[in-house]
Structure 1
Amino acid sequence: MPEPPIAPPSSNLQRKTTINGKYAPVPPVCIVTGGTGFVGCRLVEMLVERGAKKVISFDVVPPPPDAWKHPNIEWRVGDITDKKAVDELLSTPQVGCVWHNAAAVGPYHPRDLYFKVNYEGTLNIIDSAKKHGINKIVFSSSPSTRFTGEDVDGLTEDEMPKLPLGRYMQTYAETKALGEMAISNACTNEFMTVAVAPHQVYGPRDNLFLPNLMEAALSGKLRIFGSGENRICFTHVDNYCHGLIIAEKALYPNSPALGKFYIVTDGTTHPEGNQYLNFWRILDEAVIGMGAKSLWSKAHLPKGLLLVVAFFCDLMGKMFGVTFKLNTFSVIVLTMHRWFDISAAEKDLGFKPIIDFREGWDETIVWFRENWLPTNGVGKGMLAGIAKSTQAKIDIQDKSAKMVG
């Protein structure tokens, strides 16, 4: 049996997993919104690796220089807030499924952009899919849609707060929740949808999570928040994309997955067979891997003090339009327990991690040391500024949304 095509930017572990895996067929024609982002780009690649004949990536940001130039991939630049562009996209004949990943991510965008992209953009996808007879949408969601600031210590999806929440911790979470509710409410046996979320995605080519924390660590200003003993779970980018891909197979009439929300993570491949790890101890492995001093050799920052400073950072950010890494939301999420029991995804989606956490995390550290570190150096520190790659995408999304508006 011939080996599947392999995306050139793939790491050794990703290549091995693709070659050795036995995966169900995917639809011949697929659409991925947000296809040039960290997750979206890998999803596009994995769909082709698993046999898709045509995958259209639709994103406001052009494909990266190392994007896979495969004949089965079309890298189309467009904005999901542009109804005409979305309608043209979804008029593509014989689309088997839309993977809706496009979003304004993180706490750094202008407030109105979140609503335009995460909510109104999702409505555009739903309306156009119905118009063109596309009957499957897999929506990329976030656990933060259910965060209240209380610990999430091994909960299932059903044990978490129900949407809509009375109050959201950030605008990103609020607008993702609005998009997810729209997707769920649209679900029927004829128009089938499901929402799948990861938690703390990592892996080679990450342009948000590790770059921002590593820039702060390399500046010498990153410290452990609170006790440093909070439990969380991670999700390798390939494990998340695998979850998104197999979710399409769970979309059939009367499926238990219809209209539901699922979280997928590295599961019990986390240390010692648990579904969680110690966030600051694992992050410290990456810090040391970049050649910085261990976080555990420095004084911790008390949570109470951090919340006071974060309050003033939030206030100054609103007054002067400055982006701060330290904000109330970041203090809470970096000190709370946030890990999940993924038994529902295992049962209803047939999900099982395809990459072991230890292998995936170790390779990610090596990738960052060899590929990210030489061109990034010392960052701006913990308080002001965000990673250059993050800011670049924010600027493009903001400019495009203003033009469409």
Structure 2
Amino acid sequence: MAGDDPPPLAPASTPLQRAAALSGRYPPVPDVCVVTGGTGFVGTRLVEMLVERGATRVVSFDVVPPPDDAWRHPNIEWRVGDITDPSAVDDLLSIAGIKCVWHNAAAVGPFHPKSLYAMVNHQGTINVIESARRHGIKKLVFSSSPSTRFTGEDVDGLTEDEMPKLPLGKYMQAYAETKAMAEMEVSGACDGDFMTVSVAPHQVYGPRDNLFLPNLLEAAKSGKLRVFGDGENRICFTHVDNYCHGLIIAERALYPESPALGRFYIVTDGKTHPNGEQYLIFWRELDVAVRAMGFVSLWDKVRLPRGLLMCLASICEVLGRILGITMKLNKFNVTVLTMHRWFDIKAAEEDLGFKPIIGYREGWDETIEWFRSNWLPKQRTNSGGILGIATATQEKIDIQDMSAKKVR
């Protein structure tokens, strides 16, 4: 951008996202950037924000084409390819002038075929690291997950250093295990010639979310969603723009002798959560979204005891294996929907200079309005339920699985 010209703004961004983009001068970003997983919920917004902050070429790399509302900006290249294919990754990272790779591509959540997690999350990360080093790229920012440290015990306001260290003896799901394996590869590769950092959000939300809210709202629409446990568990949320901001400024923390080198950080909406705390009450905030869609309040229904849910989840997991179908109710989901899981983000504040650029209250309210205006009118009368997953989620799972099988 020249002089004081206003930055370009992504056409699909919301008023809050536009206001944040225009709110002040952000640190410069590299001219040439690569974002793997660039058509996902986070990846798409990361691509947009890099361009908004001055990148002259951003290459998105993902197994699926860009969405219909993708920004067709001359500084963005939407490239289709598979992270599990070493030759495709090598071709991507042979682009001249790449200063940083933001590695977001992943098989996300508990719903993929088990073999896919290792192929995409672990081997895909190895492919990126090896190719980046081969082509002399100096910086890698890895999108990790707090679930890599989850043991099933409450995480009630812990810092990263207070959480269990990797590797864990046992992981709660294949996603967490393979993301942990990938993160250890990233940290282990960090040296004077190749600088890395891992950044994770917790419970990303925002306009265009295609995983978190759609799955819960589809279950609420069907009438099958109930409050799990006592409904008072504390968790933290992360607006998609806050997470992308954390990923972007993490690149600036990659310099010799930086305290961030090879480390893991969590970023969230921080103290913009209700009452200046770093958490919210999950089921009560979710119910705000449920009622805004015109659905029956979750608190007007019978709550489901955690013990009963764990028994039902065990049965669902057995049935799922027998029938070869994906069920939303499983022991991992019951655990995370009833446990405390929120974090003290002071390390990211100190080492990365992170501060939320969109506050929780206004971010959550705008997200709910976006879903009411854009998601709700498209819902079929028989969609959703506690045993199924959102249609858009399943479609990407199928594409990823098919592509990885071709590579194998």
CA RMSD of aligned residues (A): 0.7
Match for 1:232 among 223, 230, 235? 235
| Residue in structure 2 matched with residue 311 of structure 1 by the alignment | 314
Map 1:77-226 to 2 at 5 A: 77-226=80-229
The superposition leaves residues 6-47 of structure 1 with CA deviations (integer Å, 9 ceiling, x where unpaired) of 000001110111111320000000000000000000000000
Match for 1:75 among 75, 78, 81? 78
The superposition leaves residues 161-184 of structure 1 with CA deviations (integer Å, 9 ceiling, x where unpaired) of 000000000000000000000000
- Checking the alignment, whether the CA contact within 8 Å between 1:380 and 1:386 is kept in structure 2 is no
Match for 2:67 among 47, 61, 64? 64
| Residue in structure 1 matched with residue 354 of structure 2 by the alignment | 351
Aligned length: 405
- Checking the alignment, whether the CA contact within 8 Å between 1:324 and 1:384 is kept in structure 2 is yes
Match for 2:29 among 26, 31, 40? 26
Deviation, structure 1 residue 288: 0.4
Q: 2:301 is matched by which residue type in structure 1?
A: K
Question: For 1:285, what is the secondary structure of its paired residue?
Answer: helix
- Checking the alignment, whether the CA contact within 8 Å between 1:220 and 1:381 is kept in structure 2 is no
Match for 2:291 among 288, 292, 295? 288
- Checking the alignment, whether the CA contact within 8 Å between 2:232 and 2:283 is kept in structure 1 is yes
The superposition leaves residues 261-291 of structure 1 with CA deviations (integer Å, 9 ceiling, x where unpaired) of 0000000000000000000000000000111
- Checking the alignment, whether the CA contact within 8 Å between 2:225 and 2:386 is kept in structure 1 is no
| Residue in structure 2 matched with residue 301 of structure 1 by the alignment | 304
| Residue in structure 1 matched with residue 260 of structure 2 by the alignment | 257
Question: For 2:9, what is the secondary structure of its paired residue?
Answer: coil
Kindly indicate whether residue 322 of structure 2 is the aligned counterpart of residue 333 of structure 1. no
Question: For 2:193, what is the secondary structure of its paired residue?
Answer: coil
In structure 2, runs of 5+ residues without a counterpart are: none
Q: 1:313 is matched by which residue type in structure 2?
A: C
Residues 379, 104 of structure 1: CA spacing in aligned structure 2 closer, same or farther, 3 A cutoff? farther
- Checking the alignment, whether the CA contact within 8 Å between 2:313 and 2:329 is kept in structure 1 is yes
Deviation, structure 1 residue 377: 3.9
The superposition leaves residues 281-319 of structure 1 with CA deviations (integer Å, 9 ceiling, x where unpaired) of 000000001110111111100000000000011111112
Aligned-pair identity in percent equals 72
| Residue in structure 1 matched with residue 7 of structure 2 by the alignment | 4
Whole-angstrom CA distance in 2 between matches of 1:379 and 1:123: 42
Runs of at least 4 residues off by over 6 Å:
none
Residues 247, 218 of structure 1: CA spacing in aligned structure 2 closer, same or farther, 3 A cutoff? same
- Checking the alignment, whether the CA contact within 8 Å between 1:215 and 1:378 is kept in structure 2 is no
Question: For 1:116, what is the secondary structure of its paired residue?
Answer: helix
| Residue in structure 1 matched with residue 38 of structure 2 by the alignment | 35
- Checking the alignment, whether the CA contact within 8 Å between 2:215 and 2:384 is kept in structure 1 is no
TM-score by length of 1: 0.99
Whole-angstrom CA distance in 1 between matches of 2:305 and 2:24: 45
Q: 1:90 is matched by which residue type in structure 2?
A: L
In structure 1, runs of 5+ residues without a counterpart are: none
